[in-house]
Amino acid sequence: MLDGGDWDRRSLLRGAAVLAGTAVAAPLLGGAATALAAGDDADALFKAGKFERAGRAYEEILQKDPENLHAARSRGYVALLGNRFPDAEKYLKMALALAPGDKDANYLLADCYIRQDKLGLSAPHWKAAGEDGYAQWFAAVRGQAYQVHGETARVPWTQTDPMPLVEASVNGGPAKRFTFYTGAPNLSIRASVAKEAGLNPLASQKIDFEGGAMWAHYGVLDSFTLGGIDLRNVPVGWSATESGEDVDSDSDGLIGTWVFYHLLTTFDYAGRQLILRRRTPETARRARAAASRAGAEPLPLWLAREQYLHTTGGFTGAAGSRTGVVGVNFGGGSEIAAGMRGATAEQLGVRIDHDRPVGTFAQSHPAVAYPCYPKEIRLGKAAAKEVYCYTNPNQPVNVPLPYGTGFDTMGWFSHCFWKPHTVTVDFTGMKLYLA
């Protein structure tokens, strides 16, 4: 347990993610928007989502001032967004050589290591970042995590709404009902499923959640099987009430982004299935060729803060259009096609139904959103017009690290937008293919 049972927003979000796929985990982040170093061109480029240009600008700063902590940390973050691990490690280690206790640099380097399955190397950096739960968990994992056995799996959905469900096996046991959501990080299961699988926690944390308290436990599964793909030695979390009962019973567990980025994953909404492949250069090549034949446009892909996927998209309202960085959430439960930051909806003149407030949660704290109806929302060639969305007037376009990504986002695309489409997410080439 963490000292004193304290929690922060990051650990609370991970606990909330255990509540399989609920829409409350969509990024309705609150808090005041805080600019990075004012007037700095590199920071302005980074905030605007012009990451490649920002990276070059930070390098120029470091050439003139090699002891610039902010530039080193930010250059490492730019590389991490694109899964360019050698560059990320180089610059984040440079930042930590300048300031060993810098929490943000430690957090980013820890994330860099877990994306490469270097869990033991990540542990001291999670500790330095104030993430004791992660530090204890990953220090205790033995052997190679996320071992992939099998080549391809087509996993049909047994349900699409209010959230997709698939069947999977835990430690070789009978099929269980799992939802999936890329707004959540790790694989999670119900407390009763963990007990059935004989799991013991490697780390535990007591947290407040929606006015109550629960325990978040972290351990390792021997195996997790989805169709023809079997993952072994898989880090897993589960939550329980103080009496040890299940917190949620809508499904038996939730599959988060960490599982999907170990595979070449296609979220085939149109075909109501997951297509999972071992990540190799050959499977990536074939997937790119298939996407091209299907008319899929390659879009950039960025991964921020452990699990949040981003690409470029656009919103149109009565007052104009804007294109920029947007979040993309696959799975989960949501009746909306997209969510919009409050400032985005206002500036674009999007029609908002202020008479119909929607109570939800942001980072597990109460929040109020409103239905809104942009004239168009678009990702590449895929567009939807006058569709049902949400906006939160109090939601800023930028929440700095460690609680947000530190760059501007106009909104995010959600469950209902994807239904006519097939989306392949390539974490090697860092591309998103939408057909």
The CATH number for 135's domain is 1.25.40.10
In a domain, 29, yes or no: no
In a domain, 211, yes or no: yes
Asked whether residue 252 falls in the same domain as residue 280, the answer is: no
326 neighbors 355 (Cβ within 8 angstroms): no
Mean pLDDT by 10 residues, the chain (435 residues): 31 35 31 36 95 96 96 98 98 98 97 97 97 94 96 96 96 96 96 94 84 88 97 96 82 97 96 95 86 87 96 97 96 93 95 92 75 97 95 90 91 96 94 94
Asked whether residue 153 falls in the same domain as residue 264, the answer is: yes
Asked whether residue 283 falls in the same domain as residue 427, the answer is: yes
What is the rounded CA–CA span in Å between residue 381 and residue 116?
33
Question: To the nearest whole percent, how much of the chain has pLDDT over 90?
Answer: 77
Asked whether residue 100 falls in the same domain as residue 162, the answer is: no
In a domain, 223, yes or no: yes
Of the candidates 290, 312, 287, the one whose C-alpha atom is nearest the C-alpha of residue 302 is 312
Per DSSP, helices labelled H in 231-381 are 257-260, 281-293, 342-347
Of the candidates 268, 286, 291, 20, the one whose C-alpha atom is nearest the C-alpha of residue 156 is 268
Q: What is the pLDDT of residue 286?
A: 86
How far is C-alpha 318 from the geometric centre of its chain's CA atoms?
A: 31
Tokens 């920071």, located at residue: 43
Q: What is the pLDDT of residue 7?
A: 29
Quote the domain boundaries for residue 313.
276-434
List of E strands, 318-362: 320-328, 338-341, 351-352, 358-362
Asked whether residue 50 falls in the same domain as residue 126, the answer is: yes
How many domains, the chain? 3
CATH number for the domain that contains residue 240: 2.40.70.10
In a domain, 23, yes or no: no
What is the rounded CA–CA span in Å between residue 27 and residue 160?
21
Residue 325 main-chain phi, psi, to 5 deg = -75, 135
pLDDT in tens, 36-86: 343 369 999 999 999 999 999 999 999 999 999 999 999 999 999 999 999
Asked whether residue 181 falls in the same domain as residue 241, the answer is: yes
Task: Output DSSP code: residue 124.
Answer: H
Domain boundary among 104, 139, 174: 139
Asked whether residue 105 falls in the same domain as residue 46, the answer is: yes
Asked whether residue 388 falls in the same domain as residue 286, the answer is: yes
In a domain, 24, yes or no: no
Domain boundary among 237, 255, 272: 272
Domain boundary among 227, 256, 272: 272
Asked whether residue 85 falls in the same domain as residue 178, the answer is: no
Asked whether residue 292 falls in the same domain as residue 345, the answer is: yes
In a domain, 4, yes or no: no
In a domain, 14, yes or no: no
Asked whether residue 217 falls in the same domain as residue 284, the answer is: no
Q: How far is CA 295 from CA 302, 313, 339, in A?
A: 22, 18, 26
What is the rounded CA–CA span in Å between residue 235 and residue 146?
8
Asked whether residue 153 falls in the same domain as residue 229, the answer is: yes
pLDDT in tens, 319-373: 999 999 999 999 998 899 999 999 999 999 999 999 999 987 665 567 899 999 9
In a domain, 165, yes or no: yes
